[in-house]
Amino acid sequence: MAAACAAVVVAAFVSDSPARVSGPVSGLGSAAWRGAAEPIPVARSAVSPAARAAQPLVGGLAASTVGVLVVDGGRHQCSASVVASRSRRLLATAAHCVWLDDAWQVDGAVFIPGYASGEEPFGRWPVQTAWVPKAWQAARSPIDDVAAETDVAFVSLAPVDGRLAEEVLGAQGIRFFTPDRLTVAALGYPAIGAYDGQSLQACTGAARTEDFVGGSSTQVAGQVLVMTCDMTEGASGGPWLTGPDPASGRGQVIGVVSGGNDTDLLSPKFGAAAEDLYNTADTAASQSQNTAPDQSQTPLASSR
């Protein structure tokens, strides 16, 4: 963090390599998807003494509502969570997980709730449609140039065996306006460095609001939430939870893992734009037919 200018200054970090990048970075990005049947050795890197290492989170509501989001034709993984909605089928994740390099990444995408070391206790839920802010789509290099406050997406899931996701999995709450400081739990499936993407991890602690400066700009581009945590690629899109019991994986989603560096993790600070995007996604998902996804249908972006 660049404390001298009282702003978060970030640079791009999207890689399938296990190498860690020192210094301020953003866009933790997706990690290469790997199931337990085909493990890939991961070099373990030293954790900075200032970092808070994530710890495994087992059981509770998170065990069914948080999972791996496999995207990009099965080549990469992010994290996502089921959030309460009228449509009963919405996920919250990071925009860069579903839209990156001027293209959608959701063809053949699936959500695997409760994934743990190759076990898929709740099966696979096909992604139907995704919504991201137009500001995110408009940037040529979004992971660098758009404030992390726009790095949020909502995803609708197709029914499985005639049942909607929330009916089977439950859902976390969602909240759009928060204080500048609060206690949170950040959850995700980090898969690079000291982590292997095979288990749900969590960091719990104080989060603060800071100004955000994009990688190619010196201008403050918005505000983000920041907490001390060393999670890496693969955790992108995982929920930031606050009360009633975030440490046990039950609460309200107030943000998603967007980026970070060796010691700090960033989340968009949900506000009016995120609320508009959520309402757009929920309304459209409520009106859609309960059918399997049509991959020929172009996913939508919000008007914000």
Count of domains in the chain? Answer: 1
Which pLDDT value is given to residue 30?
A: 54
Which pLDDT value is given to residue 147?
A: 53
Which pLDDT value is given to residue 5?
A: 26
Q: pLDDT exceeding 70 applies to what percent of the chain?
A: 72
- Which segment, 124-128, 256-260, 295-299, is predicted with the most confidence on average? 124-128
Q: Is residue 166 part of a domain?
A: yes
Per-residue pLDDT of 191-236, as tens digits, reads 888 888 899 999 999 999 988 776 555 555 678 999 999 898 899 9
pTM for this prediction: 0.81
**Average pLDDT of the segment spanning 163-184:** 94
What sign does the CA torsion over 203, 208, 212, 218 have?
Answer: negative
CB 240 within 8 A of CB 267: yes
* Confidence category of residue 164, pLDDT binned at 50, 70, 90: very high
For strands 173-174 and 153-157, give the pairing: unpaired
Q: Is residue 201 part of a domain?
A: yes
- Nearest 5°: phi and psi at 14? -130, 110
Do you find a cis peptide bond into 244, omega within 30 degrees of 0? yes
The span from the CA of 77 to the CA of 99, in Å, is 13
**Average pLDDT of the segment spanning 164-178:** 95
Which pLDDT value is given to residue 215?
A: 58
Which pLDDT value is given to residue 22?
A: 25
Q: Which residue has the higher pLDDT, 215 or 137?
A: 137
Question: Can you give the residue range of the structural domain that contains 136?
Answer: 50-287
Least confident of 111-125, 258-272, 275-289: 258-272
**236 three-class SS:** coil
- CATH of residue 157's domain is 2.40.10.10
Q: Is residue 42 part of a domain?
A: no
Q: Is residue 20 part of a domain?
A: no
pLDDT at 133 over 50: yes
* 28, two tokens: 């933790």
**Average pLDDT of the segment spanning 275-300:** 70
Q: Provide DSSP, 132-183.
A: --HHHHH-SSHHHHS-GGG--EEEEE--BTTB-HHHHH--BEE-S---SEEE
Q: Is residue 304 part of a domain?
A: no
Q: Is residue 303 part of a domain?
A: no
Please give the angle made by the CA atoms of 180, 207 and 235, to the nearest 5 degrees. 130
Q: Is residue 9 part of a domain?
A: no
Q: Is residue 5 part of a domain?
A: no
Q: Which residue has the higher pLDDT, 211 or 152?
A: 152
The span from the CA of 14 to the CA of 11, in Å, is 10
Which pLDDT value is given to residue 2?
A: 31
Per-residue pLDDT of 22-76, as tens digits, reads 223 334 555 554 343 222 222 333 333 345 678 888 888 999 999 999 998 888 8
Which pLDDT value is given to residue 157?
A: 98
Containing H/E element for 96?
Answer: helix 95-98
* Confidence category of residue 282, pLDDT binned at 50, 70, 90: very high
**Average pLDDT of the segment spanning 132-140:** 82
| Best CA proximity match to 91, nearest among 202, 256, 201 | 256
pLDDT at 1 over 70: no
Q: Provide DSSP, 196-207.
A: -SSS-EEEEEEE
* Confidence category of residue 293, pLDDT binned at 50, 70, 90: very low
